[in-house]
Structure 1
């Protein structure tokens, strides 16, 4: 994977955490957004962990370019900033995950594994902000859904509800007793029908449409 942050000490700390997991290999580091894009182009890592505020090109712009030009690499945003505007912009950029530097190191490892497996991951504090926003600004009960979930088949509804809680294709396949390729096809169909660009946006659509309920 790639680690991109303009602070060398932060990169060293992140790499030290990742090194605890023998299943994770850091193949490149970058000190700015443009270098991050170039490193992804050269090394084609499964995951790029990218800070938001970096010189030359910020992390959100880098994530958008990676998503557009190198879609086989999933991007996870890692930042000290948890403001809603950053979260929304990161998700719109095509990022598959969002972590805060103040999170427990175990969240970093969990997020990398989830995204590498084709899932989406929001740290608990970020997820709480998103859910709170949906509660405050989402649809009133009984209103027409913003996303056309009524166009989905019964099986696609099931897949979307599990995608909404962050499960990977393999985990969804196990839960629904399907092969992983079938789940992947369902996910592609769901993205097309909902008019969303990635799994995170689809997961938010699941929350907004009431297919996933927050634990009380």
Structure 2
């Protein structure tokens, strides 16, 4: 059952919205999107269904908000890394490492929802556009790494490799995400046409993620 929460003036709008997102993330990841009703989400959040609809007029809107959390932080990293003059390989490693960690360390495995048929719905257009921009950022970095394999093909392979952490995480709940992210970023470089970096190059890449 839902967690009891304050109502009326005692409950902030932001708290209620966050409660809906947390409840929906848990239910979508465990019960499934199609099998989860807005009533179930409201009950899990400890809110009235009318309150849920105030913040999210449709279940699709909840899904859109949750999926945004899986891509916007990585997109922000990509936008910051692209103009940098640091070697493309280091920037690519940093982006892949950060992206894998984002998908792997989230409380609920929301990246697994990427395969839902509902992803193609008109209401998810913003998410699809942001995810496409992220993929384009990978491609822009990969294009700076010479290789006989077309950059578009390498970008497809790299993007699939990064997002595969959601499948691995589902099958291996105790997965060491940090180690997986490091090895995954190494693999991204190899797919892109470069050798895996040494510790010094990894440190350079990680330092870029620490910069404001």
TM-score (norm 1): 0.28
Structure-2-length-normalised TM-score: 0.29
- Say which structure, 1 or 2, has more relative contact order (CA 8 Å, 6+ apart): 2
Whichever structure has more strand as a proportion of its residues is 1
Greater helix share, structure number: 2
Bigger Rg, structure 1 or 2: 2
